[in-house]
Structure 1
Amino acid sequence: MNPLPSGQRWLSGPMPRFGLAQYVQRWADPSTVRALGLHGEVHFPLAVAHGQLASLPRVALTAHFHCVTTWSVPDLCWEGWRVQDLWAAFFREAARPSASHVRISGADGYATCLPLEEFLHPSALLADRLAGQPLSQAHGAPLRLVVPRLYGYKNVKHVQTLELLAGPAPVSGMGRLLAHPRGRADLEERSGVGFQPFWRRLYASQLSTFLRQAERFQSPPDPLQGEPHA
């Protein structure tokens, strides 16, 4: 087993459904996400229906998953399509040369920005299966971005649209605190500001609380009871 990045610890048990409270409590309906759209720094916008992905080679990827809050899960087995192949087949001709970043948005309202070189890294996958099973609603069905070298907050669930940008997306002060422009786990890029070991210690001190709170959102809510609230 590969060594853990600095500040991480192995989590016993399956990977939890995890994220910021305002998003993790939202349950996107996978049946409403049928295509992957592209806009922004493009010659023309377009949408790739999920059925068109069948023309691409399927790949399997086994990799560790690292959450910025200091837990890691080893050897998750993802299946899907390489982002590089998706880009070459459908998006390369539409992209303007000025495009340097991509904002990835999910059907639950969450979005993050990545440099194109990270989005197109050879390990980046658009996954539709996990551990030999179709991707669950809890973990991002129908399609989830998987970039193992980056912290989990860069691995968007329910991927729906890609917006190409000529530079990094502008972020608020709080956004800089909660996300790094890249988020590489091996370089401990937990936050866009400050001394990174500070954020490690802060997250580690709250980890048990984070995980207890996450237990509330491991399964879709009972429709008779309505949505839970953080």
Structure 2
Amino acid sequence: MAYRSRNHHAASGVTLPPGQRLIDGFPRFGANLSRPAPPVPIKSVINIRGAAVTDAFDVPLASLATLPRRELTADFHCVAGWSATHLRWEGVPFKTVYRTLIEPALRPGISVTHVVCRGLDGWRSVLSIEDALADDVLIADRLDGRPLSGDHGAPARLVSPRQYGYVSTKHLCRIEVHTAEPKGIHKSVLRLLGPHPRARVWEEERHRYLPAWLLRRPYRATIAFVITWGRRRDVRSRPQPR
């Protein structure tokens, strides 16, 4: 995984959102890099709950096979400033899951404003219902023609290409449906960063309060860490000679 300069990606014809830099490969990312990915349950489900739902219920991941699937080629943009391009995701559109399985279970007369997605690793992200129902948001279970690995969110994950990567919760196990924006949902490491409520990459919505240009340099410093950590992890994972 190598870092590419701004001129390199401009010359190659790749257009990135403001403040982003292209890297080779697609590294594991997140707040739990020092820990292994969570184990995949024998019977994986997505639990549906929240103030807008009459009764909580489980959606077995296997049942999603009965819903229309979509293949989506999209770029992935980390709020720290790196981008991985031309990733090929496969899965079920979030809108399809919502309209088919969640909407019929809503309490009568309510107005949904937000959803919270939770992963097996404890990560949580908040999306406005408008963003969650965008046409390119998937519950994905395959990447580049293969089932998701632990590094990238097995057994299934959210993919929201128009938003920064922290919105795309890995190891998806719960969807909470809310009638108002929930508070205190993000893990402490993300709350300290003051995440923007929309996190749209082309609007450079990196922070709820601070201007984006002010954050580019400190965030960009983390790119070197991601690259170095990825290289060390690759070396550790190689079979050792006997």
Query: Which residues of 2 match residues 52-131 of structure 1 at below 5 A?
Result: 52-96=63-107, 97-131=110-144
Task: Give the secondary-structure state (helix, strand or coil) at the position aligned to 1:79.
Answer: strand
Distance in 2, matches of 1:201 and 1:116, equals 31
**CA 1:108–1:215: 2 relative to 1, 3 Å:** farther
The offset of 1:91, in angstroms, is: 0.5
Structure 2 residues not aligned, in runs of 5+: 1-12
The offset of 1:209, in angstroms, is: 2.2
1:129-175 deviation per Cα after TM superposition (whole angstroms, max 9, x unaligned):
00011111110000010010011100000000011122222138961
Code of the residue aligned with 2:116 in structure 1: it is: R
Corresponding residue for residue 22 of structure 2: 10
Task: Give the secondary-structure state (helix, strand or coil) at the position aligned to 1:36.
Answer: strand
Task: Give the secondary-structure state (helix, strand or coil) at the position aligned to 2:71.
Answer: strand
Distance in 2, matches of 1:25 and 1:217, equals 12
Distance in 1, matches of 2:53 and 2:223, equals 41
**CA 1:216–1:153: 2 relative to 1, 3 Å:** farther
Corresponding residue for residue 47 of structure 2: 37
The offset of 1:54, in angstroms, is: 1.3
Corresponding residue for residue 199 of structure 1: 215
Task: Give the secondary-structure state (helix, strand or coil) at the position aligned to 1:65.
Answer: strand
Q: How many aligned residue pairs are there?
A: 220
Q: Identity of paired residues, percent?
A: 35
Distance in 2, matches of 1:219 and 1:122, equals 39
Task: Give the secondary-structure state (helix, strand or coil) at the position aligned to 1:87.
Answer: helix
Q: Give the TM-score normalised by the residue count of structure 1.
A: 0.87
Distance in 2, matches of 1:81 and 1:60, equals 9
Asked if the contact 1:149/1:186 (under 8 Å) is kept, the reply is yes
Structure 1 residues not aligned, in runs of 5+: 223-230
> Does residue 1:137 correspond to 2:153, yes or no?
no
**CA 1:135–1:105: 2 relative to 1, 3 Å:** same
Asked if the contact 2:93/2:138 (under 8 Å) is kept, the reply is yes
Asked if the contact 2:27/2:226 (under 8 Å) is kept, the reply is no
Runs of 4+ in 1 over 4 A off after TM superposition: 214-222
Distance in 2, matches of 1:37 and 1:220, equals 35
**CA 1:215–1:111: 2 relative to 1, 3 Å:** farther
Distance in 2, matches of 1:52 and 1:127, equals 14
Asked if the contact 1:78/1:131 (under 8 Å) is kept, the reply is yes
Range with bigger deviation, 32-41 or 65-74: 32-41
**CA 1:148–1:220: 2 relative to 1, 3 Å:** farther
Larger Rg computed on CA atoms: 2
Asked if the contact 1:190/1:200 (under 8 Å) is kept, the reply is no
Code of the residue aligned with 1:160 in structure 2: it is: C
Distance in 2, matches of 1:103 and 1:192, equals 18
Range with bigger deviation, 150-159 or 187-196: 187-196
Asked if the contact 1:176/1:193 (under 8 Å) is kept, the reply is no
1:170-203 deviation per Cα after TM superposition (whole angstroms, max 9, x unaligned):
1389616242111110011111221111111211
Asked if the contact 1:16/1:218 (under 8 Å) is kept, the reply is no
Distance in 2, matches of 1:36 and 1:117, equals 21
Distance in 1, matches of 2:236 and 2:35, equals 9
**CA 1:178–1:207: 2 relative to 1, 3 Å:** farther
Q: Give the TM-score normalised by the residue count of structure 2.
A: 0.83
Query: Which residues of 2 match residues 140-219 of structure 1 at below 5 A?
Result: 140-171=153-184, 175=191, 177-215=193-231
Corresponding residue for residue 226 of structure 1: none
Code of the residue aligned with 1:86 in structure 2: it is: V
